[in-house]
Amino acid sequence: MSTHLYTDLRSKNAIVTGGTRGIGFAIAEAMLQMGARVAVSGRKSDGVKLAIERLRHVGGDRVVGVAAHSARPEDVTRLFDEAVKAFGAIHVVVNNAATNPSMAPLHEVELEVFDKILETNLRGYLLVAREGVRRMREASVAGSIVNVSTVASLRPWPGLGAYSVSKAAVNSMTQVLAIELGRDGIRVNAIAPGVVRTRFSEALWKNPKTEEDTAKRLPLSRIAEPEDVVGAALFLASEASRYVTGQVLVVDGGMMLV
C-alpha cells in the first residue's frame, strides 16, 4: 500500500457530531483539509450555520451542516439521511457531541442532571453508532467509528463523576462494538483527551492560576488545544489504523503518567 493512503481521506465521507466548535470542529476542519467530505451536526441551528460558514473556507461544497440532537432517534436518522443525500455512503462516524452541566460530587448530582448526561453522552453515542453501523452495512462499507471519550473515564476525577461514568461506559461500548462488528470490517475506537482548551472545559483552565497549576502537573507542561487531538482522529479515520479496533487512544500530554 502506498504511504500516501495513510493520510489521504479523499475517498471518505464522514459525520462529526458536536462539530460546530471545540474538538469536533477541529476534527471536521482537519478531515476537510485531508480531502474528506464531512457532515457536521450541532443542537442549535445558529451554531451549525456559523460553523459551516467557517468550514466552507476549507472544504467548499464538501461540507454540510445539520441541526440535530444526537440523543433523539429521529434527529440522528435525519442527520444520516442528509449526509448520504449529499455525499453517498458513510465511511467514518465521529461521536463527539457531549454535555457536562454538573461539577458536583457524584453522590450529590441531581438525578435529572445525571439522566441528561447519560442521555447525551451514552444514549446519544449508541444511537449514532447504531445508525452508522446500519448505513455502513447497507452500503457494504468497511468503516470506522471514533468515539471521543476522556482521560477522566480512566482515572477518577473529583467533580467530574457523572461525566466520567458516562465516558467510562462509552469506553466499554467501544470495545463491545469492536468485537461485534469486526467481521463486518467496521472498526470502533475511542480517543481519550486530557484537558483541552475549549468552552466545554473552561472551568478547568479559564482561571489563570488554575491553568498554571494544571499545566505544571503535565509532562508536556501545557493544556492541549483542540488541534492536538486531531492527529488521533485522522489516524483512526484513515487506512493508517486499518488493523486497530477496540482501543482507547489517550491524548493527554502525559497526564496519566503523573
Give catalytic residues, as residue numbers: 163
Angle subtended at Cα 78 by Cα 72 and Cα 83, rounded to the nearest 5 degrees: 130
Structure letter (DSSP) for residue 91:
-
Q: Which of 216, 206, 209 is nearest to 103 (CA)?
A: 206
CA dist., res. 204 & res. 200, Å (int): 9
Judged by DSSP in three states, 245 sits in coil
Structure letter (DSSP) for residue 182:
G
CA dist., res. 48 & res. 198, Å (int): 17
Q: 105: Cβ–Cβ under 8 A, 6 or more apart, which residues?
A: 158, 159, 161
User: How many other CB atoms are found less than 10 A from the CB of residue 230?
Assistant: 21
Judged by DSSP in three states, 223 sits in coil
Burial of 114 (0-12, 13-18, 19+ CB in 10 A): middle
In this structure, what C-alpha cell is assigned to residue 220? 508536556
Q: Where are the beta strands (DSSP E) in the chain?
A: 13-16, 37-42, 63-67, 92-95, 144-148, 187-193, 248-251
